[in-house]
A and B are shown apart, each in its own frame.
Chain A
Amino acid sequence: MIGSSVRQSPAVSGTAEAVPGVRRAKDTTPRRRSPSLAARLANNAFLLRLLARPLRRFAPVLSIGRVVLVSRHADVLDVLERDGDFTIAEVNAATMDRIDGPFILGMDRSEQFTRERTILQSCVHPSDSERIRTFVAATAAQLVGAAATQGRIDVVQDLARPAATRLVASYFGVPGPDEVTMMRWMRVLFWEAFLNSGGDLAVRLCGEQAAAALHAYLDELIAAERAGLDRGGEGRDTLLTRLITAQADPATRLSDEGVRRNIAGVVVGAVDTTSKATAHAVDQLLRHDGALQAAQRAARDGDVQVVAEYTFEALRFNPLNPALVRHVARDAVIAEGTRHRRQVPAGHTVYAAVLPAMFDSAAFDDPNTFRHDRRPAADLNFGYGMHSCFGLYVNRIQIPELVAALLRCDGLRRAPGRQGRMVYEGPFPDRLLVDVAGPVPTGRAV
């Protein structure tokens, strides 16, 4: 890539079909490789919950080869809290470096981590919540309305992904050259970063090209935004423009490259995660009839707060990640002072199994029952500790709003037969079809 940081590949800037080996952003008849057994298992929340019980009881810290699986709630919190013993750089840093450059998601506790996370945090304003809510509610209503006329909605492709992409454009301030390209970049980058553990060459190539294209695009965008700000333009107020403005103060100054790295890191993590969580929540609500009806009532009453409770309880049954991965940086003890105490040697990999932990009766009363009024502090949907989700403040609002828009539809039900099953591509849902009779006017002015 020497001297070619702005090399724009036709495969990326051109039409989606030109990308070899990678499907178009929206394509419901995929050339899909049959997923591996492990991938099937990881995506099957029911099976995981079934396995989780004996695991928690008989092998709360299970060690196989160089992998350690931790499944009790207290131990999972412990692992995620001890960020000096159980680190993330080994897991994520190289990936982040390849597609973006260093980003907090791949950094361990360090001055740099603290600084960059603090600066990002300082660019989030208290009033953003309302802004996000208003925008997402309007976008979601529009998307659902458009799709509902055909009687069938793909929760992933028709609702969650475009909505998240539009929020990225409006609130984070990165619209991309156009929405389709932007969605494809996000997908391809995620693909390369998180799905391509086998190192498929075509995927890597696309990922690298998308990274280069996004890089070039962001360079231009940042220059343009800066020029706009310099002109004294009171125009756009986005996370990106705030990062640029923050450069004026040495305490919050990121280098130009730092601004690019950080906004790109935030943005790449903002689309497919949201869409996965939304799809999971809807899927689980559809499996819990009582809850579905109650949530629909709340949605129609305009009580998004209650919808949020249902959404996150639904996510507990199938969270974004069934487990979080950490690297054992130094010899450590897990579950010190208990009977299942275990020494884990440096160099091993720890899976902090979030899903089993959220069914641990020590932290959740009657964990197998769907109860929307649980104490939220115990849930691990957004991770825990130093690396808990940066986008929490966005998605606490965005996901329930997306779910609520759907719930307001009349006759919401899973598409019949095989069509209604959620389809995964790697760990990401690619399709979840629901049938609706038609949209119901929103119960609340937006």
Chain B
Amino acid sequence: MTQLEREDVQGLVFSGYAAMHEARYLFYEVADPAGARRWLGELAARVTTGSAGEGAHCTNVALTHRGLAALGLDPEPLSTFAPPFQEGMTTPYRQRVLGDVGPSAPDMWAWGGPPGSDSSAPEDRLHVLLLLFAPDGGAMDSLLDAEMSRATGEGALRHLQTLQPEPLPGTISAGKFGVEHFGFADGMSQPVIQGTGQEDELAGEQARRHVVATGEFVLGYPNGYGELTPSPWLPGPDSGKVDLGRNGTYLVVRQLKQDVHGFRELVRRLAGTVGDDADAEARFAAKLVGRWYSGAPLARTPHRDDVDLATDNAFGYAEVDPYGERCPLGAHIRRANPRDSTAPERARALELTNLHRILRRGRVYGPGLPDAATEDDLVERGLIFICMSANIERQFEFVQQTWCNNPKFSGLYEEQDPVLGTPPPEGGLFTVQGSPFATRARGLTNFVTVRGGAYFFLPGVRGLLSLAGRS
């Protein structure tokens, strides 16, 4: 197999930069195409790649389709990018695919909304995403100053907006990012990219379950089918092609607002579905998510939370829980990654599921709602969801559409992801399978609202240079 060219791949593919507690995501509009290309060419040398260590700080850059056009890329190469990336996230079709309806409709987005909407960085002007990471606030300030002046100093780019996730918790262990706003340990299950060396540390179930072909996340390498995912290109010398996509990938950013108070209310209201003991609330919340607050999977410990299993990710459903009596069939993590339960034969099921994996790099934003809060403080908080995949349709959109939002998932009738979904106005349904028969929780409300989103392309370093016209 072709060796993975780590030095050409942006570092975000390999790491969530857990040591970098501060992050800023900056949106820019191209003001001067020539200047912007020059800026991009210089930036290519500073970009954090997968070969070097993370150093004092990390910098990555991604572009939208409009951004590539604004840089002056010709229509022909522009049309070689993946269709969802070309079309953007706000078309009526993609709204249906992603479930961005009702309060999550793009017209209401804070950024990335359709042209003419109230978005601060509307789709047509959102061109460049600069991702900056630093270990602490001081380092971030100086990095931010330096990068901002390089980008806008000579009028190459116009700054539109900055997203600022919360600093990571002070103690980080085993690369864990800590806890999202609803109180669950997050980022527990990630695919492991073949060829990164990370797969050698895994054995047995872990290796089989989570190692995914390089080409699923990095363009230019064989994907899960052993084929090359179509990659964008530039016309090269002698009527050849320059592979613009190689070592690049597609990046999805979505700002997901979480109604923490609403979630807690609902858990309190519906906890009776799963019993009337003291643990009922925690158990109901775990049923919705599929993991206990600690991260311990219900499939492994169905009765109560077990912190010793918090990082356990080597489990499946087919053998221990085929009917959802431990982890409900419609629970969030079972929808987002059904593991070995997608086909009658386990090994095949894993292979099929692994054709639809995403690499997540989310960070939370907004202050946490205190545990003792009795009413909503109306402060916005949530998750800046970032994920990567080489094939947006088969990976990110598939997970969203065919698994999370699909009312018919796993033989169910009319329910959606209980955490992410937008239930109908009369309230959503959630079935908790059990013995002797299932319990249905009714009246689920919407807790997660999309506040912005866009598809980006995260080029390889050579790709950046090509775009800058310096290849």
Is there any pair of Cβ atoms, one from A and one from B, under 8 angstroms apart in the complex? yes
Chain A 81-110 per-residue mask, 1 if CB under 8 angstroms from chain B, else 0: 001110111100110011001100000111
The reply to whether A102 and B204 form a contact with Cβ atoms under 8 Å apart is no
Given A83-B203, A108-B205, A2:B432 Cβ within 8 A: yes
Per-position 1/0 for B289-300, Cβ under 8 A of A = 000000000011
Whether B42 is near chain A, meaning CB under 8 Å from some CB there, is no
Tell whether, in the assembled complex, residue A2 and residue B275 are in contact, meaning their CB atoms are under 8 Å apart. Answer: yes
A327 touches B (CB below 8 Å): yes
| B311 contacts partner chain A, Cβ-Cβ < 8 Å | yes
From A88, which residue of chain B is reached at the shortest CB distance? B204
Contact call A89/B434, Cβ cutoff below 8 A: no
Q: How far is the CA of A257 from the CA of B280 in the complex (A)?
A: 17
Q: Which residues of B contact A431 (CB under 8 A)?
A: none
How distant is A298 from chain B, measured CB to nearest CB, in Å?
A: 43
Which of the residues B207, B277, B305, B316 comes within 8 Å of A329, measured between beta carbons? B207
CB <8 Å contact, A108 and B280: no
Q: What mask results when residues 250 to 291 of chain B are scored 1 for a CB within 8 Å of chain A, else 0?
A: 000000000000000000000000110100100100010000
Determine whether the beta carbon of A97 is less than 8 Å from that of B206: no
Cβ–Cβ < 8 Å partners of A85 in chain B: 203
Asked if A3 meets B435 with Cβ closer than 8 Å, knowing A87-B205, A97-B315, the reply is no
On whether A90 and B312 interact (CB within 8 A), knowing A101-B306, A102-B300, the answer reads: no
Q: Is B228 an interface residue (CB 8 A)?
A: no
Query: Which residues of the partner chain B approach A329 to less than 8 Å between Cβ atoms?
Result: 203-205, 207-208
Complex Cα spacing A85 to B203, Å: 7
Contact flag A109-B312 (CB < 8 Å), given A1-B434, A97-B300: no
**Given B207, B306, B432, B439, which contacts A255 in the complex, CB threshold below 8 Å?**
B306
* Cβ distance B138 to chain A, nearest Cβ, rounded Å: 32
Q: Which B residue sits closest to A346, measured CB to CB?
A: B208
Q: How far is the CB of A161 from chain B (nearest CB, A)?
A: 28
| B319 interface contact, C-beta 8 A | yes
Q: Is the CB of B304 within 8 A of A90?
A: no
Q: Contacts of A112 on B, CB cut-off 8 Å? A: 308-309, 311-312
Judged by a CB distance under 8 angstroms, whether A427 is at the interface is no
**Is A116 engaged at the interface, CB distance under 8 Å to the other chain?**
yes
Q: Is A3 a contact of B277 with CB atoms below 8 Å?
A: yes
How far is it, in angstroms, between the C-alpha of A89 and the C-alpha of B346 when the chains are bound? 14
B309 contact set on A, CB distance < 8 A = 102, 112, 257-258
Which among B204, B208, B307 has the highest number of chain A CB atoms within 10 Å? B204
Is residue A441 contacting chain B, with contact meaning CB distance below 8 A?
Answer: no
Distance in angstroms between the alpha carbons of A1 and B321 in the assembled complex: 11
In the complex, A414 has a CB within 8 A of chain B: no
For residue B302, CB closer than 8 A to chain A, the reply is yes
What is the distance, in angstroms, from A51's C-beta to the closest C-beta of chain B?
30
- Among B311, B347, B435, the residue within 8 A (CB) of A1 is B435
Query: Which of B204, B207, B308, B316 interacts with A257 by CB under 8 Å?
Result: B308
B325 in the interface (beta carbon within 8 A):
yes
In the assembly, what is the distance between CA of A87 and CA of B203, in Å? 7
Q: Which residues of A contact B312 (CB under 8 A)?
A: 102, 112
A256 contacts across to B, CB distance below 8 A:
304
Is there an interface contact between A261 and B306, defined as CB atoms closer than 8 Å?
A: yes
A254 touches B203 (CB 8 A): no
Report the Cα distance A329→B347, complex, angstroms.
11
Question: Chain B contacts of A111 at CB under 8 A?
Answer: 174, 311
Residues of A in contact (CB 8 Å), total 37
Q: Are B307 and A89 in contact (CB under 8 A)?
A: no
A3-B306 contact, Cβ under 8 Å, with A84-B203, A108-B203, A112-B312: no
Partner of A87, one of B204, B435, B439: B204
* A408 CB within 8 Å of chain B: no
Pick from A85, A93, A254 the residue with the most CB of B within 10 Å: A93
Interface of B is mostly: loop
Contact mask B108-129 → A, CB, 8 Å, 1/0? 0000000000000000000000
CB nearest neighbor in A for B325 = A1
CB-nearest residue of chain B to A94: B319
In the complex, the chain A residue whose C-beta lies closest to that of B310 is A255
> Across the two chains, which residue of chain B brings its CB closest to A109?
B203
Nearest CB of chain A from residue B384's CB, rounded to whole Å: 29
In the assembled complex, the CB of B253 is this many whole angstroms from the nearest CB of chain A, namely 32
A49 CB–B CB distance under 8 Å: no
Q: Does B144 lie at the interface of the complex (its beta carbon under 8 Å from any beta carbon of A)?
A: no
Report whether B206 and A108 are in contact in the complex, using a CB–CB cutoff of 8 Å. yes
- Tell me which residues across on chain A come within 8 A of B305, comparing CB atoms: 255, 257
Judge whether A5 is part of the interface by a CB distance below 8 angstroms: yes
Q: Give chain A residues whose Cβ lies under 8 Å from the Cβ of B314.
A: 89, 93, 108, 110
Could you tell me if B203 and A97 are in contact, using CB atoms closer than 8 angstroms? no
Shortest distance between the CB of B344 and any CB in chain A (Å): 15
Contact of B275 among A3, A89, A101 (CB under 8 A): A3
**Nearest A residue to B277, CB-CB:** A3
| B310-341 vs A, Cβ < 8 Å mask (1 yes, 0 no) | 01101110011000011000000000000000
Cβ-defined contact, B303 with A327, below 8 A = no
Whether B280 lies near A327 (C-beta < 8 A) is no
A187 at interface, CB cutoff 8 A:
no
Please pick, from A3, A4, A110, the residue contacting B206 in the complex, using a CB distance under 8 A.
Answer: A110
Query: B51 contacts the other chain (Cβ, under 8 Å)?
Result: no
Q: Which of A2, A94, A115, A255 contacts B435 (CB 8 A)?
A: A2
Q: Which of A3, A5, A254 has the most CB of B within 10 A?
A: A3
A83 to B205, CA, bound (A): 12
Within 8 Å of chain B (Cβ to Cβ): is A391? no
Report the Cα distance A261→B301, complex, angstroms. 10
Query: For chain A residues 365-407, which have a beta carbon within 8 Å of chain B?
Result: none
Q: What separation, in Å, do the CA atoms of A107 and B312 have in the docked complex?
A: 11
A330 interfacial by beta-carbon distance below 8 Å: yes
Say if the beta carbon of A347 comes within 8 Å of chain B: yes
Contact B203 A257 (CB under 8 A): no
In the complex, the chain A residue whose C-beta lies closest to that of B305 is A257
- Contacts A2-B432, A257-B305 known; 14 new A-B pairs at CB < 8 A: A1-B325, A4-B435, A5-B303, A87-B203, A94-B319, A97-B315, A101-B300, A108-B205, A112-B312, A256-B304, A257-B308, A258-B308, A330-B207, A347-B347
What are 25 A-B interface contacts by the 8 Å CB criterion?
A1-B326, A1-B435, A2-B274, A2-B287, A3-B275, A3-B283, A3-B434, A4-B434, A5-B302, A5-B304, A84-B204, A93-B314, A94-B319, A102-B300, A102-B301, A108-B314, A109-B203, A111-B174, A112-B311, A116-B308, A254-B308, A255-B306, A257-B301, A257-B306, A329-B208
Residues of B within 8 A of A (CB): 174, 203-208, 274-275, 277, 280, 283, 287, 299-309, 311-312, 314-316, 319-320, 325-326, 347, 432-435, 439
